[in-house]
Chains A and B, each alone.
Chain A
Amino acid sequence: QKEVEQNSGPLSVPEGAIASLNCTYSDRGSQSFFWYRQYSGKSPELIMSIYSNGDKEDGRFTAQLNKASQYVSLLIRDSQPSDSATYLCAVNMGGTGAGSYQLTFGKGTKLSVIP
């Protein structure tokens, strides 16, 4: 059973701080990793994707991937109250089988940025 684990939170950080969100996954063959942001009552919005070990930066967001440890994280620098949302980690196994079409989602971490 493929699993993606996240701390449910809530994670509270003060405005301007760095928020660190973590995710572990069980399938060692996983190849593609995604972070979605979901505001209350809205649909998930893709904010970052990462496919190789290391860091990937996009504005205030940095995704970090360590396949050996089966660990992916999202850092949000200079956190703003508008970043308050639930962040979903999603993993795709890749390859050519049925699993290659599917994403497995974690249950999400709720982030609250305090002004």
Chain B
Amino acid sequence: NAGVTQTPKFQVLKTGQSMTLQCAQDMNHNSMYWYRQDPGMGLRLIYYSASEGTTDKGEVPNGYNVSRLNKREFSLRLESAAPSQTSVYFCASRSLNYAPSYEQYFGPGTRLTVT
């Protein structure tokens, strides 16, 4: 049981390049999330998927797109990377089957640098 996995662990992009961050969970969780974490800003929600087939914007969605490929996988795409997107990106998942438990479990993160 690997929990939440993310690939890649590190990435360097040039301004204008595109890339997709991958996330998968093996806990049969319904909801999945993408956050970014910047010094002094805390964790900020980019997009989330409440359940398979749905996605919604979070606090900072501009410049990103997401795909909930199936129940296990949730990807984050940067179409044209900008230096402001340099950050650490975390994927998380949460089960809806154990309310009122709304615990989220995080993946190991992707450190992205855009030059």
User: A and B: partners?
Assistant: yes
Listed in ascending order, the chain A residues whose CB lies under 8 Å from chain B are 31-32, 34, 36, 42-46, 49, 51, 88, 90, 92, 94, 98, 100-103, 105-108
A106 to B41, CA, bound (A): 9
Is the Cβ of A51 less than 8 Å from the Cβ of B100? yes
A102 to B48, CA, bound (A): 8
Contacting A at CB under 8 A, from B26-62, are 31, 40-43, 45, 48, 50, 56, 58
Is the Cβ of B43 less than 8 Å from the Cβ of A101? no
* B115 at interface by CB-CB < 8 Å: no
The 9 residue pairs across chains A and B that have the minimum distance between CB atoms: A107-B42, A43-B106, A105-B43, A92-B102, A32-B102, A101-B50, A43-B109, A44-B106, A43-B108
Q: Which residue of B lies closest to A49 (CB)?
A: B103
B44 to chain A, nearest CB (A): 8
Number of chain B interface residues as a range: 20 to 34
A46 to B48, CA, bound (A): 19
Listed in ascending order, the chain B residues whose CB lies under 8 Å from chain A are 31, 40-43, 45, 48, 50, 56, 58, 90, 94, 100-109
A-B contact count (CB 8 A): 52
Contact of A94 among B40, B58, B90, B102 (CB under 8 A): B102
A51 to chain B, nearest CB (A): 6
Is the Cβ of A101 less than 8 Å from the Cβ of B31? yes
Q: Which residue of A lies closest to B106 (CB)?
A: A43
Q: Which residue of B lies closest to A91 (CB)?
A: B102
Q: List B contacts of A101 (CB < 8 A).
A: 31, 48, 50, 56, 94
Is the Cβ of B56 less than 8 Å from the Cβ of A108? no
Q: List B contacts of A88 (CB < 8 A).
A: 42-43
